[in-house]
A and B are shown apart, each in its own frame.
Chain A
Amino acid sequence: MKHTLSIMDSSGDRRVQWEENDPAALEEAKALFDRIREKGGSVFLEQKDGLGGGRIDVFDPKADMIGVPLLIGG
């Protein structure tokens, strides 16, 4: 089963997909997850039709996620 990390960017979003039995794709997704958090961003679980969801701090290979860049006040 495919899982997705949608990373918000100027094009709308960039999507990275992986399957649990594909170590290379999994590694790439995990690296992106870590990079978002290193830059001060947050990662949330996708909430299908507004249900579920939550912030996650550790990469979950079985979850669909959304990467949000750093928020700043102005």
Chain B
Amino acid sequence: MISWPWKSSSAKRAERLLRGNLTAQQRRDLREHGYFFVAGGQSRLPYRVGPKKNVWLLAPGVWSKPAGSFCVYPLPHLPSPDVMLAHALSIQHDERSFCSVAVFYPYSPDLWYRIIPILRAADLVRGTNYETFCYSREVFPCHPPGHYRF
């Protein structure tokens, strides 16, 4: 089911708030594709924010496939543009809290080798949900947990 462009009055109201807080480029991406990109406040990694709680983490320079995605949503229920703005604000200004709360699903182990050094440099591994995956046998089956050297 396509949730964008939004039709309900609550979503349209939320969309006005969302659009007022986006750059011209982000507004253009939203209009043309239904999603936009933000940079993580600490890591500066690109995130793709879309409707239906659809947040991707991307590797720098690789726009075609996600390194992973997040499942995170606000309580109580909010219209989709509000959810997108909540995600975008949290990623830009409180990335550590976002990564600590959001459940993370890694997709591409090959991209993870490029991302983990950046996450470690930004102090976003220890104590966040990335930690599980950075030291996971499923993601890095050839190494025992806790023995990675990047």
Contacts and interface: CB of A to CB of B under 8 A. Distances in A.
B121 interface: no
Interface in A1-59: 6, 8-13, 42, 44, 46-51, 53-55
Interface residues of B, number: 39
Given A68-B74, A69-B76, A72-B72, A13 B17 contact: yes
A72 B79 CA distance: 16
> What range describes how many residues of A lie at the interface?
20 to 34
Contact of A50 (B21, B71, B77, B97): B21
B10 A11 contact: yes
A72 B78 CA distance: 13
B56 interface: no
B12 interface: yes
Contact of A48 (B13, B20, B81): B20
Contacts of A54: 93
Given A12-B12, A69-B86, 19 more contacts: A8-B14, A8-B78, A12-B82, A13-B17, A44-B89, A48-B21, A49-B20, A50-B21, A53-B21, A53-B93, A68-B89, A69-B75, A69-B78, A71-B75, A71-B90, A72-B73, A72-B101, A73-B72, A73-B101
